[in-house]
Chain A
Amino acid sequence: MISNIISFVHNNRIIEIKNPDPNETLLNYIRTQLKKTGTKEGCAEGGCGACTVILCDFKNNQMNYRAVNSCITFLPTLQGKQLILVEDLISKDGSLHPVQEAMVKFHGSQCGFCTPGFVMSLFSMFKNNSKFKDETIKDTIAGNLCRCTGYSPIIKAAKSLKNKKKIDHFTKNENNTLKLIKKINTKSIAIFKEEKKYFAPRYLEELKKILKKNNDSDFLSGGTDLSLNVTKKRKDINSIIYLNSVKELNYIKNDNSYIEVGASTPLIDFEIYIKEYYPDFTKILKRYGSPQIRNVGTIAGNIATASPIGDCLPLLLSLNAEIVLQDLKKTKTLLLNKFFISYRQTKLKKGQFIHSIKIPLVENNIFKAYKVSKRFDDDISSVCAAFNFKIVKNKIEDIKIAYGGMAAIPKRATHCEKILLKSLFTEKIINKAKDALDEDFKPIGDMRASGQYRMQVAKNLLEKLYVEVKQKKIIGIYAQN
């Protein structure tokens, strides 16, 4: 069934929006149509978390309470989900939710403007984890900025939730909610609103058909980058094809030689899966963005944006990942290394979409990745580096090094690789490899870091790699905790 009505569950009932403006943000809808003003606009770019709401879906036999930034979520992507706002946390009898209670008790609010966002992020943690560690707390609120408290009381409030009973009025209503979600989750969406079009296909075949007729469309996945065209550049996006509604693209497969990740798999799912194989990938993904971003953002999205500072990209390049592109007729597999052309330009053609990413699984290799930024969490890299190689009989083999933040595209350091390949793994050769980076990159400066700094860090990361591998331990300020 194809419909132009967006249906979602809110407060135990189905709400329908007929033919909405596909460029309207969820935040705008909440504040101006639902007239609920608890959810705040802080930055309109997903950088502060004041607009955090919960989109709940049913996956792997359980309800997933995902925190998202409503300011950069397009309204139609609400289809088939349960929307939970800060106002909804209070029980019918007026009593506060345990999360809210803890925030009051531990003085977690001062000016209060960021508070609803924090409450929602903590609520998602409360719902999704039967138990949680202290690190989970910091990760949970990594995308929520507070300028008053210094976070200490908020963290105390979160810690106090460890011992709280998890049953709340959402738990009690879960069966009913699920029934409602299942009821509305049966349709594909096609919206034609004035000059704007929006499609949310449910199946690959449907996607192809839509693509055939609308090959000028922008693909929407997590939308954490695309949406800024609307909220910041104030442009219209006239035709959108939403990929995250295609269930066939949301998967992770493993045939022991490759891990294959479907294009619409959220980063947050991928980061859990990849940890076993490439722990540094998970480490970087945790710092890629806030949970609100990782809950919706995808690797394919990160690849398609082709940003020089996309944190997945150097990692994937060094792992020699492949990208599977599809068009109406055929599937094509391409080395990711060949995919990026120039600044934000890729080989993705009209009528083509990213189907999946294939990450080779290698044995006995060393894979290390580093991210250097001004702030630990939710910051854009000054330099991101990934190293993948083997040491066979003291010699370096199969080495692939890639950097982000060093050129107009995420790029392999081929000169540097050449120096290292088949060399003995010594300090001397590392120093030579450092010099080779001057041939690989001519980084530019911006508000994040100067070109000179980027180059020095890029070189120093080689040194760090060397020492860490030699000493078999992690050397860094975050290893001190």
Chain B
Amino acid sequence: MLKTKKEIFINEKRPHESGIKHVSGKAHYIDDIPEYPNTIYGAIGWSKKAHAIIKKMNLEEVIKSQGVIAVVTSDDIIGRNDVGPVYDGDPIFTKNPKYFGAPLFAVAATTTELARKAVLKAKITYKTLKTITTIKEALRKKSYVLKERIVKKGDALKEIQRSKHQLKGNFTTGSQEHFALEGQTAFVIPQEDSDFKVYSSTQHPSETQQIVAKMLNQKSNSITVETRRIGGGFGGKETQSFIFAAICTLLAKKTKCPVKLRIDRDDDIIITGKRHDFYSEYEVGFDELGIIKGLKVKLASRCGISPDLSGAINERALLHIDNAYFLENILIENYLCKTNTASNTAFRGFGGNQGMMVIENIIDHIANSLKKDPSEIRRRNFYQKKKKNITHYNMKIEDNIIQDMFDQLLKSSNYKSRQLSIKKFNAENRYIKKGISITPVKFGISFTTWHLNQAGALVHIYFNDGSVHVNTGAIEMGQGTYTKIAQLAAHALGLPFSKIKVSATRTDKVPNTSASAASSTTDLNGAAMLNAIYKIKMNLKAFVKRKYKIKNSEGIYENGMVKFKGKSFKFNQLIKEAYFNRVSLSSSGFYTTPKIYFDKKTFTGRPFLYFAYGAAVSEVVIDILTGENKILQVDILHDAGKAINPAIELGQIEGGYVQGAGWLTMEEVNWKSNGVLTTHSPSTYKIPSASDMPEKFNVEIYKKGINNESVINKSKTTGEPPLMNAMSVFFAIKNAIASVSNYNINPKLDAPATPEKILMSINKLKRKI
């Protein structure tokens, strides 16, 4: 495959760089790293109460338990007893637990099983306190993790009043457990000088390093964090991995032994935060065409006990409440609810999708009330190219392609004719109803926290064989960033893919990295890596110029050759020669995202370098006797710019859709009113399985896609945006429900649309008929 004449590497469907290792069990995750013989194993004891004061914690039986070597509590922490990334509020060990699952202590024992057995022997006396678990309770009691925020543009209230039509309603989207197949894991090896080597399954090695250092009251240079790959992240290891790395290090410090802490699945789900569920109340004014004139939204989210990343997540929700629609007059109140539940955190979409669902639900409501096809109402409200192109945060949209994509998909999916045959089907079938919906996606790319939009890289070329070693801050979590970075490097150097090695992400190789998050990982780290290669190329060019008296010629790197004007080298030859002439063949690289700025106070600016677009048509079938539902067909058209590796992008698009469909249909996180989480294992929490995949799954990458901004390969990321294509599933279900009333009544349906919610929605509808 690679022996073609011209090797380009990018725009090429390459398998995942670890594909062969994945299928043969040779890819090492944290738990697979060969252990030292003196390695011991940890487990965490956590609070069984959602809000309490620990009156007494008797750990005698724990200490006496078979195989136990050490126990650590908050008393063992000499530095910062908190893993909060931005604010405090996430204690490592607490004496005042504020959620069911708050870590209280940990043990190290000779085996993982003995450690897990030991923690159950703790005798803990709680004084239980009142709990707040739901958004509504928190709103009522004004229990917030951060101050509320108001975003305003134009005069929404006036415009709503002046509008021909008004609607009011409320809407909820549910939480979601990340359920990465690899659970939270850390492995820590004490080094000399009280240093620690921390292997962590994390999306954020640099912050792990800082947090561990602060906990130990040591300098950051004494902690090295390394991550080769993680078995799925989805946001669940952006900050939620910190506490495990911290506790593991604490155990290693106390025992002076290598310690592994692999968290049991139930403990993992109980201890860590999930996706923010959102509750919104809206009031919208629109004209007879369904064009929104004014919108007022009260937007509240369940943040759990602490701010964690909730500020940024709610901000992204606010920044995406427009999705692809021009909203001239808008007033949003945003409340960040503090509840006695695990601190909710990043999850693919990062609040963006929750914001987008709010407006999609409103548009759907408008369409149903006007008895119009929602796709028409969507089109009419789209941002336009020359006018109506300023967002509610005052950013001019310069790369708008949604209209074109939407129309292309309407056509290619046969939306209109299918809609007709569905109506016919529904008229003929009393118990089984079908529904169809098309929804657009516009998702802003960049960290909304300005300083995070930077990345570093380190590239070495070894002189003896010309092989290349690359390190960046990117975490490989399945999204294929290592593959894409290696493809970019191979392309830049004109070398075969096999000569490039992207190796583990380490804080001592590339410092001060940002989390692999915000869909920006390859954009940022790929560019930093190219910058490093550029610098090495500059060294080589200067050398060639000096030695061979070649003027003003850029080297062309292709097919293992480097060509200057009038002089060509074999790559290896040039590298060897350069080495013997004392030329540096190694360089760091750096990249910062251009153009972006954002004033958080006025909520205006350009928070995003570009937008990624998508559109999807989903067709579903529901059983009105049971509420069971199934996706029959999906047609997705997604924008990946000029894709670096179309196979990988396709995988992200398909996988994102299914994950999003899970969020909006079957995945339901459930707490009792006392804050006890009842869904914490695959037997109680259901993520989609193979049968839930639509029978017809048509995915196309938008052929005209190109990134107008200066982004690597003119590509667009496919990290988070494809998840939102699944919004169409939810509205297709709503469409199927609406058929029960012959499309005369707008059904009330909250997400996730479980069989039960669907049946209850039908009940309500029937009562109104």
Q: Which residues of A contact B (CB under 8 A)?
A: 28, 31-32, 36-45, 47-48, 50, 85-87, 89-90, 96, 99-100, 103-105, 107-116, 119, 137-138, 141-142, 144-155, 232, 234, 372-380, 382, 446-450, 453, 456-457, 460-461, 463-464, 467, 475-478, 480-481
Contact = CB atoms under 8 A, between A and B. Distances in A.
B678 A446 contact: yes
A104 B22 CA distance: 9
A40 B621 contact: no
A138 B655 contact: no
A37 B187 CA distance: 15
Nearest to B629: A477
A371 to B, nearest CB: 10
B630 A478 contact: yes
Contact of B231 (A32, A90, A112, A446): A112
B18 A112 contact: yes
Contacts of A476: 432, 623, 626, 628
B682 interface: yes
Contacts of A42: 181-183, 265, 682
Contacts, number: 260
Nearest to A463: B625
A90 B24 contact: yes
28 contacts: A38-B24, A38-B26, A44-B265, A47-B681, A89-B24, A96-B24, A100-B23, A103-B23, A107-B647, A107-B648, A108-B23, A111-B477, A112-B19, A113-B182, A114-B231, A119-B23, A144-B690, A148-B232, A153-B654, A234-B116, A372-B626, A375-B688, A375-B692, A376-B630, A376-B692, A377-B691, A456-B763, A457-B625
Given A107-B16, A111-B477, A372-B626, A45 B654 contact: no
Contact of A151 (B19, B430, B690): B690
Interface string B19-47: 11111111111011000000000000000
Given A150-B654, A377-B691, A447 B684 contact: yes
Interface in B622-667: 622-623, 625-630, 632, 647-648, 650-651, 654-659, 666
A111 B233 CA distance: 9
B interface majority secondary structure: loop
A452 B430 CA distance: 23
Given A141-B690, A152-B654, A45 B25 contact: no
Nearest to A462: B625
Nearest to B671: A447
A142 B690 contact: yes
B693 interface: yes
Contact of B24 (A87, A111, A152): A87
Given A100-B23, A107-B651, A137-B690, 12 more contacts: A42-B682, A43-B265, A109-B18, A109-B478, A112-B16, A113-B181, A148-B232, A149-B654, A150-B655, A150-B656, A155-B693, A476-B628
Contact of B691 (A105, A142, A147, A153): A142
B678 A28 contact: no
B180 interface: yes
Nearest to A71: B265
A36 B181 CA distance: 18
Nearest to A47: B682
A460 B14 CA distance: 51
Please provide the 5 A-B residue pairs with the shortest distance between their CB atoms, ordered closest to farther: A38-B25, A113-B231, A111-B478, A47-B682, A112-B22
Contacts of B693: 150-152, 155
B16 A150 contact: no
A375 to B, nearest CB: 4
A137 B693 CA distance: 12
Given A41-B31, A372-B626, A480-B630, A147 B234 contact: yes
B230 interface: yes
A137 B629 CA distance: 21
Given A37-B25, A110-B479, A374 B668 contact: yes
B760 interface: yes
A334 to B, nearest CB: 30
B204 to A, nearest CB: 16
Contact of B29 (A100, A113, A137, A145): A113
B697 interface: yes
Contacts of A377: 689-692
B759 A457 contact: yes
Given A150-B658, A234-B116, A379-B686, A109 B264 contact: no
Interface of B: 15-16, 18-29, 31-32, 111, 113, 116-117, 120, 178-183, 229-234, 262, 264-266, 430-432, 477-480, 621-623, 625-630, 632, 647-648, 650-651, 654-659, 666, 668, 670, 678-679, 681-684, 686-693, 695, 697, 699, 754-756, 759-760, 763
Contact of A376 (B651, B691, B763): B691
B695 A481 contact: yes
Nearest to B119: A234
A382 B681 contact: no
Contacts of B229: 111-112
A453 to B, nearest CB: 4
A50 B629 CA distance: 27
A100 B432 contact: no
A111 B230 contact: yes
Q: Which of B179, B231, B760 has the most CB of A within 10 A?
A: B231
A472 to B, nearest CB: 15
Contact of A149 (B28, B655, B670): B655
A96 B113 contact: no
A461 B690 contact: no
B528 to A, nearest CB: 23
B432 A147 contact: no
Nearest to B660: A150
Contacts of A149: 651, 654-655, 658
A477 B630 contact: yes
Contacts of A480: 432, 621, 630, 632
A47 B756 CA distance: 23
Nearest to A89: B24
Contact of A116 (B25, B648, B759): B25
B19 A104 contact: yes
Contact of A153 (B651, B656, B657, B687): B651
B659 A147 contact: yes
A109 B23 contact: yes
A52 to B, nearest CB: 11
Contacts of B699: 152
B27 to A, nearest CB: 5
B23 A372 contact: no
A46 B115 CA distance: 21
Contacts of B431: 464, 467, 475
Given A448-B684, A461-B626, A464-B625, A104 B691 contact: no
B232 A113 contact: yes
A478 B623 CA distance: 9
A105 B622 CA distance: 35
A109 B22 contact: yes
Given A45-B681, A147-B687, A107 B15 contact: yes
A50 B181 contact: yes
A141 B691 CA distance: 9
Given A113-B182, A113-B232, A147-B179, A86 B25 contact: yes
A374 B478 contact: no
A382 B755 contact: yes
Contacts of B626: 372, 457, 460-461, 464, 476
B28 A37 contact: yes
Contacts of B16: 104, 107, 109-110, 112
A446 B678 CA distance: 8
Nearest to B645: A107
Given A149-B655, A377-B690, A453-B760, A447 B232 contact: no
Nearest to A464: B625
B755 to A, nearest CB: 6
A72 to B, nearest CB: 11
Query: Residue among A38, A85, A112 with the most chain B CB within 10 A?
Result: A112
Nearest to B658: A150
A137 B178 CA distance: 26
